[in-house]
Structure 1
Amino acid sequence: MIAAAFRAASQVFEQPFRAIFWKSLGFTLAALFLIWLLLNGVVSSFLTLPYAWLDTALSILTGIGAFIGLGFLVAPVTALFAAFFQDDVAAIVEAEDYPAEGIGRAMPIAQSIAITLKFTGVVILGNILALLLLLIPGINLVAFFLVNGYLLGREFFEFAAMRFHSPAEARALRKAKAGTVFLAGLVIAGVLAVPFLNLLTPIFATIFMVHLYKGARRTSAAPSSNLT
């Protein structure tokens, strides 16, 4: 697992993955800018003040407040867009590091969207928990890492496995390697907890879990319906 984590950390900054990151970040910033404009428009439409200077002040305060609020959405929204490129990330890793084993099967669009929404929900939940648990001394970081370690490990490992297995087989393999997958999830949660670095979470986690899955499959007797 440690070797897979270091390998993923070194790969995440390589050109093919940087291109995917900038693409997903560009979509994120465009989406947040549109939301920001919409919020400003809604406030301006529904609130009419008697003095022009009050209108100007309200517009400035609304813009600042929206900017700060949207800052908390950068990570989950980036995760949403990055998740649409997960198959591309996994295929690059499979081709570069495991050419003899072939390229996995890209998920059907409906299944891909479902997994994307599920992962985005996990990231949003993780960010909400991070904010709420900061107010509870003693359990904040422990709870954050336990919850996100389990959820992130499960989602990303099963994604990597389902490129070569049925969902049932992917779950069976994940359960057979539950301890390793959970520890890997803690590593991903650590990346998620670091501001700015958390923007790389989906790409890093996908690379990491492809490597982890490959190692787990070699040491597992789980049934296979893979394409290789």
Structure 2
Amino acid sequence: MISPFLKAIGQVPDPDFRSVMGRALLYAIGTFALLLTFTWWLIVSTRFFGIGWLEWIVDFVGGATAIIVAFLLFPGAMVFVVSLMLEKIARAVERKHYPNLPEPRPQTMSEIILIGLRYTAIVVALNLLFLPLFFIPIINIFVFVGLNGYLLGREYFELVAVRRLEPEGVKYIWRQYRMRLWLAGMIITSLLTIPVVNWFMPVVAAAYMLHIFEGLAYREVSSSNNLEPPAPVE
């Protein structure tokens, strides 16, 4: 888990990688601003008590709540941004670390957008569902990291894996390595909670997951229709 992350971090100075990170930074700031604006608008436009001074207190507290909610939803929302930039990220990583790889599976822009939207919707929806638990001390850490670790681990993995495997192969590899990928997702989630760092981290996270993916035994799956593990030798 450490070596793939160090490889991803080590590529930050590369010009190709920096150009992608620059765009990702702009998208990240825009995404957070949209989340913050929408959350704040939703809170202040909802009347909870119908009493002026109570509504003012709710609106005041709602500003802080909006920041917290936007912060919590940010990792999931960035999945869509990463899906749109993944090919450039992957190309930069593969050019440096895996130059002998064959061309990836061709994907249409509509497929990429649909995958990104689906993953983003799942992550955001489940975070909203568990939102009340995020305000309970101690429990919130385990729920947030565990839930988003699983979700982001799976989503980043599938974004990377679908470039090389058909959907059936992606599911098979996920089942074989789900605990390792869940742990990678928890690392990604933890890093995405660090202010400012989280604006750059989605690009590094995508590169990190690509390195992990290339370390998995997926090539036999990609070249075979047999998705069952080999029978043990007696």
TM-score by length of 1: 0.71
Task: Please report how far the alpha carbon of residue 139 of structure 1 lies from its aligned counterpart in structure 2 after TM superposition.
Answer: 1.3
1:184 equivalent in structure 2: 184
Task: Please report how far the alpha carbon of residue 158 of structure 1 lies from its aligned counterpart in structure 2 after TM superposition.
Answer: 1.7
Q: Which amino acid aligns with 2:206?
A: T
Task: Please report how far the alpha carbon of residue 132 of structure 1 lies from its aligned counterpart in structure 2 after TM superposition.
Answer: 4.2
CA shift digits 1:145-189 (9 cap, x unpaired): 111111111111122121111011011011111121111111111
Seen in structure 2, the aligned counterparts of structure 1 residues 221 and 27 have a Cα distance that, compared at 3 Å, is closer
Task: State the distance in 2 between where 1:176 and 1:150 align.
Answer: 15
Task: State the distance in 1 between where 2:123 and 2:76 align.
Answer: 6
Task: State the distance in 1 between where 2:30 and 2:139 align.
Answer: 36
- Counterparts of 1:108-127 in structure 2, within 5 Å, are 108-121=108-121, 124=124
**Structure 2: gaps (5+ residues):** 42-58, 225-234
Task: Please report how far the alpha carbon of residue 4 of structure 1 lies from its aligned counterpart in structure 2 after TM superposition.
Answer: 0.8
Seen in structure 2, the aligned counterparts of structure 1 residues 123 and 166 have a Cα distance that, compared at 3 Å, is same
Task: State the distance in 2 between where 1:106 and 1:194 align.
Answer: 35
Aligned residues of 1:75 and 1:199 also touching (Cα < 8 A):
no
Aligned residues of 2:24 and 2:200 also touching (Cα < 8 A):
no
Aligned residues of 1:25 and 1:78 also touching (Cα < 8 A):
no
1:204 equivalent in structure 2: 204
CA shift digits 1:77-106 (9 cap, x unpaired): 555434311111112111211111233235
2:21 equivalent in structure 1: 21
Residue aligned with 1:101, SS? coil
Task: State the distance in 2 between where 1:146 and 1:200 align.
Answer: 22
Task: State the distance in 2 between where 1:93 and 1:217 align.
Answer: 19
Task: State the distance in 1 between where 2:26 and 2:155 align.
Answer: 25
Percent identity, aligned pairs only?
Answer: 30
Aligned residues of 2:4 and 2:212 also touching (Cα < 8 A):
yes
Q: Which amino acid aligns with 2:221?
A: A
Deviates more, 1:82-91 or 1:128-137: 128-137
**Structure 1: gaps (5+ residues):** 41-60
Q: Which amino acid aligns with 1:114?
A: L
How many residues of Structure 1 are paired with residues of Structure 2 in the alignment? 202
The reply to whether residue 224 of structure 1 matches residue 223 of structure 2 is yes
CA RMSD of aligned residues (A): 3.5
Residue aligned with 2:185, SS? helix
TM-score by length of 2: 0.69
Task: State the distance in 2 between where 1:190 and 1:28 align.
Answer: 17
CA shift digits 1:62-82 (9 cap, x unpaired): 9xx69x759747666555434
Task: State the distance in 1 between where 2:15 and 2:129 align.
Answer: 33
The reply to whether residue 144 of structure 1 matches residue 144 of structure 2 is yes
Task: State the distance in 1 between where 2:80 and 2:203 align.
Answer: 11
Q: Which amino acid aligns with 2:120?
A: T
Q: Which amino acid aligns with 1:198?
A: N
CA shift digits 1:83-137 (9 cap, x unpaired): 3111111121112111112332352212201122134335545875896444212
Q: Which amino acid aligns with 2:140?
A: N
Aligned residues of 1:89 and 1:203 also touching (Cα < 8 A):
yes
Q: Which amino acid aligns with 1:115?
A: I
Task: State the distance in 1 between where 2:28 and 2:3 align.
Answer: 31
